[in-house]
Amino acid sequence: MGGAAIGRSSGEVGRALRSTPTARRSTLTAAGWTVLVALVWVLLAAWRPSTTWHLAPVLLAGAAPWVVGQDLRGGDRSAIPRVVAAAVAGAAVSALVTWALWSGGLLAGPTVLGFPGPAIEAFTFAGVASVLALLLGGARAQRRRPTAWTAWHGPTRVAVSEDVVVVEGNAYFPPSAVRAGVLSPGDTRTLCPWKGVARYYTLNVDGIEVRDAAWSYAYPLPLARRIEGRFAFAEAVEVWPAEPAAAAEPPAPGEG
């Protein structure tokens, strides 16, 4: 009976993960980063077996839960199972790579903190990293509750949504929440050291054109992947929290 219940629960979580586009994208991205870190570690170990790459197991174990944690949303019942699965997978891959390197004689460098061997050090570091990433991801899921925001230029509402991500005090709206036809790409671009390259947009409403009134990160850096493709607005546009009911639907094309 207990086994059947566990089986049904695991199956429900699996179906939820596969059926959510964000979850699928997070899983693929997490897998990609995990493979990349593992490959780099193997290449470094093959290049210099006598050097202990202390951070490698930490990065390898923490990559998957960190990436998955970036996309978690409060109220999502699959959030905690997703980050737990990512943490377990990251720790398992790190342990497998550690064992392979140790078996091949490529893990023979000095240790820190008094560990008796580099393999034990790597296992320990990986375990700690996966647990910390799990706790951080879980805390994020609890803090990130749906927030309703609106954006106005004068009397005209240009964006409204309950699915808003706030970063550095700026509200980032999903593209579907922005009134159709009011934004056009501009020539201005800026570089943020941790978010990447932002492209600016011109706002056109009620016959008024406002250059660089909005910006978006089409290809943000890993730490800012939550705002990928979203739009934030400059001072020319007033942005403030809204009642959830007001954000239930995006603004209509002719709405003022």
Q: Count structural domains, the chain.
A: 2
Same-domain status, 184 and 112: no
Q: The CATH number of the domain where 168 resides is what?
A: 2.170.150.40
Q: Which of 143, 164, 198 is the last residue of a domain?
A: 143
Q: Would you say residue 74 has pLDDT above 70?
A: no
CA 201, CA 216: separation in Å to the nearest integer? 8
Q: What is the pLDDT of residue 144?
A: 67
Q: Are 246 and 149 in contact (CB under 8 A)?
A: no
Among 72-81, 117-126, 241-250, name the most confident range: 117-126
Q: Would you say residue 89 has pLDDT above 50?
A: yes
Same-domain status, 131 and 186: no
Percent of the chain at pLDDT exceeding 70: 82
Same-domain status, 75 and 116: yes
Query: 């990559």: which residue's tokens?
Result: 63
Greater model confidence, 67 or 186? 186
Same-domain status, 113 and 14: yes
Q: Dump pLDDT digits (tens) for 135-174.
A: 988 787 777 666 689 999 999 999 999 888 888 999 999 9
Q: What's the pLDDT band for 96 if we cut at 50, 70, 90?
A: very high
CA 214, CA 172: separation in Å to the nearest integer? 10
Q: What is the pLDDT of residue 157?
A: 94
First to last CA, the chain: 58
Q: What is the pLDDT of residue 11?
A: 44
Is the residue at 252 inside a domain?
Answer: no
Is the residue at 254 inside a domain?
Answer: no
Q: What is the pLDDT of residue 41?
A: 96
Is the residue at 255 inside a domain?
Answer: no
Encode 236-249 in three state secondary structure: CCEEEECCHHHHCC
3-state DSSP assignment of residue 166? strand
pTM above 0.85, yes or no: no
Q: Which of 109, 143, 177 is the last residue of a domain?
A: 143
Q: Would you say residue 73 has pLDDT above 70?
A: no
User: How confident is the prediction for the chain on average, in pLDDT?
Assistant: 84
Range of the domain at 187: 149-247
Q: What's the pLDDT band for 1 if we cut at 50, 70, 90?
A: very low
